[in-house]
Structure formats: structure tokens, C-alpha cells
Amino acid sequence: MTHSFTAPNGAPLSRFCFGAMQFGGKADATQSREMYDACRAAGINFFDTAYVYTGGESERLLGQFAAQDRDQLIIATKVGYQGGGGRDNLRASFAECLDRLKMDRVEILYLHRWDDETPVEETFETLAELQQAGKFDHIGVSNYAAWQVMKAQAVAAQFDTRIAMFQPMYNLVKRQAEVEILPMAQAEDIAIVPYSPLGGGLLTGKYAAGESGRLADDARYKTRYGQQWMLDAAAGLAEIGRDIGVNPATLAVAWAARHPGVTAPIISARNVEQLQPSLDALSFEMNDALYARLSALSPTPPPATDRLEEA
């Protein structure tokens, strides 16, 4: 990449990012601290949070933990999920993010989602002003379509800035990003930091083993991951894991990380025990044969042109 993502001390971005979405929610302060420490011990220096996570507790806890080694860390937060991408909302939300984190700046500021109601020019002029004031280094976007990224990128150029990072959903049963998002990012020099490599817990193998979780408790996740072919793919992944003696969560994260367009998948959990298989993926070497075997568990999405004969 032509741009680099570094901590204040110059340390480069770690291969994985930790998502602090559960901090202060399903993970209490002690569990959150233990996961933070486990990530640091594993060499992770990239941490992700957002204005809307756990009513602000995610940012508050991450800020507390990060204070001891702030210069070594790359911190990302997100604004605009609530209240839209207007100037006043972005400025007020981001100011509150920094206050919660007890930081005067972060490395990456994401727009959490596309806003149809606000002119893109207003949004990116505001981001450019904050960036030029030294409040953050890089602009990121999350949950955008590829066309939205390119539209926003053209507008960002008017203000002498650019989108440098993109956070889409991507995992073994959610492969839509392969159609346009990943090729676009590779062509346009945009770092991809995908979330949900475990498919909301589906790809950990716990559902195939008869356990419960968000797919049973959360209507959004049941809709997102409740199709039978997805459940079958998760069962197939668990079976392969048993065959080769590797936790299916490790395989799922390593699979997402292996795509050449992926910079750093976001891993997360409720406690250290649940997190460990994802951390194990840092050192897991996935060969071409295993990658192909796992990829065959789910359908490859058709090309954007839908010309299947050219795929």
C-alpha cells in the first residue's frame, strides 16, 4: 500500500485487529481487561471500537486499558451510526468519543454507515477539517457498498483527503465482498479490515454441537445467518476441524485473513477462553488445498456482471 498505518511510536499495524464491541456489555470490565491483555501478549496493537458500542462503555474501558501503552497502539473508532453524517453530529459524536477514550486523537476514524440524508460533501469536508486539525490520521468507512466508497472517494479528493480503510462484513458464509468490495479495495489501495469472521458465532462450531448463542437470542443474527445452507457449511467446517485437529474458529479466522485483499480481520469474543481460538489463527498456516476445501463449503458469489461463463 502507498499509505502506512502506524502507531505513534512507528509500529506497523498488526495482522489482526481486536474489536471491543463487547467491552462493558457481554464482557464485564475484568473479562474485557483479560482479553485486552491477551491480545497485547499475542502482538496485536490494533483496536477497534465505536461511539454506539455498549452505551459508550466500550470506548471508556478501551481508553483505560490503552493508557499504559498508548504510543504503541493503533486505535480506531466509528461515528455516524446514530444521528447521521452531518457536520454537527460528526463533530459532537467524535468529541465525545475522544473524551470517553481519554485521548486527544486516534489513528483511524470511520463513518459507521452510509447516510442518504446528508450531502457527501458536508460529511467529508467535516472529516477533512478534523483530520487536518490533527484529530486522527486516516479516514475509514464501514458497511458501505463499493459504489458508495467510490462516490465518497471522489468527494474526499475535493478536500485533499481520501478513504484509506474499509470495514465490511466478510466470512465463509458471507462472501459478497468478493464480488466488488475486495477487488475495488485492491485496485484502489484501500485497506480492508473485515468484521465478523466467525459469522456471529456460527462458524465456531457451537451450534453444530447443539449449543446456543446470538443466532437463537438475536433476531438480526438469526436472519443474517439462519439459512440452512449456512448451518450446513458451519457443520462442514466443524467436521474438517475435527479431521485435522484444529478448532473451527481458528480455521474460520485464518480463512478470512488469507484473502489477498484482506489487511487485518477483526476478532472479538466475550472472554479469553472464547477468544483464544481466534488468536491461534495468527500462527496457523493455511495451505492452498485447505483453503480450497474450506471455500467449497459455501457458494462462490457470481461476478458483478453476472456473466457466469466468464467466471
**What confidence tens digit (pLDDT) does each residue in 267-285 have?**
999 999 999 999 999 999 9
In a domain? residue 8: no
On whether the CB atoms of residues 216 and 224 are closer than 8 A, the answer is no
pLDDT of residue 120: 98
- Quote the Cα angle for 152-183-175, to 5°: 100
Q: At what angle do helices 120-132 and 87-101 cross, to 10 degrees?
A: 40
On whether the CB atoms of residues 163 and 141 are closer than 8 A, the answer is yes
In a domain? residue 246: yes
Q: What is the dihedral of CA 280, 281, 283, 285, to 10 degrees?
A: 140
In a domain? residue 7: no
In a domain? residue 136: yes
Residues annotated catalytic, as ranges: 53
pLDDT of residue 212: 64
pTM, two decimal places: 0.95
pLDDT of residue 209: 66
* Residues present in the chain in total: 311
42 has a pLDDT exceeding 90:
yes
Number of compact structural domains in the chain: 1
User: Quick one: 212 exposed, middle or buried, by C-beta within 10 A (0-12, 13-18, 19+)?
Assistant: exposed
CA atoms of 263 and 193, how far apart (whole Å)? 6
pLDDT of residue 309: 76
234 has a pLDDT exceeding 90:
yes
pLDDT of residue 308: 76
CA atoms of 80 and 60, how far apart (whole Å)? 18
205 has a pLDDT exceeding 90:
no
pLDDT of residue 2: 56
pLDDT of residue 222: 83
On whether the CB atoms of residues 311 and 302 are closer than 8 A, the answer is yes
| 16 backbone dihedrals φ, ψ, rounded to 5° | -125, 155
On whether the CB atoms of residues 250 and 281 are closer than 8 A, the answer is yes
Position 126 confidence tier, pLDDT thresholds 50, 70, 90? very high
304 three-state secondary structure: coil
pLDDT of residue 4: 85
In a domain? residue 9: no
Q: What is the mean pLDDT of the chain?
A: 95
Position 198 confidence tier, pLDDT thresholds 50, 70, 90? very high
In a domain? residue 11: no
CATH number of the domain encompassing residue 198: 3.20.20.100
The enclosing H or E element of 17 equals strand 17-19
pLDDT of residue 63: 98
For residue 193, give the nearest of 141, 154, 145 by alpha carbon: 141
In a domain? residue 4: no
pLDDT of residue 306: 85
On whether the CB atoms of residues 200 and 227 are closer than 8 A, the answer is no
184 has a pLDDT exceeding 70:
yes
Side-chain-side CA neighbours of 129 within 13 Å: the count stands at 11
pLDDT of residue 215: 73
211 has a pLDDT exceeding 90:
no
Position 101 confidence tier, pLDDT thresholds 50, 70, 90? very high
List strands edge to edge, sheet with 17-19.
Answer: 191-192, 163-167, 136-142, 106-111, 74-79, 46-48, 17-19, 266-267
In a domain? residue 2: no
Domain that holds residue 63: 17-310
For residue 120, give the nearest of 141, 95, 96, 98 by alpha carbon: 141
Q: Which of 55-59, 136-140, 259-263, 306-310 is predicted least confidently?
A: 306-310
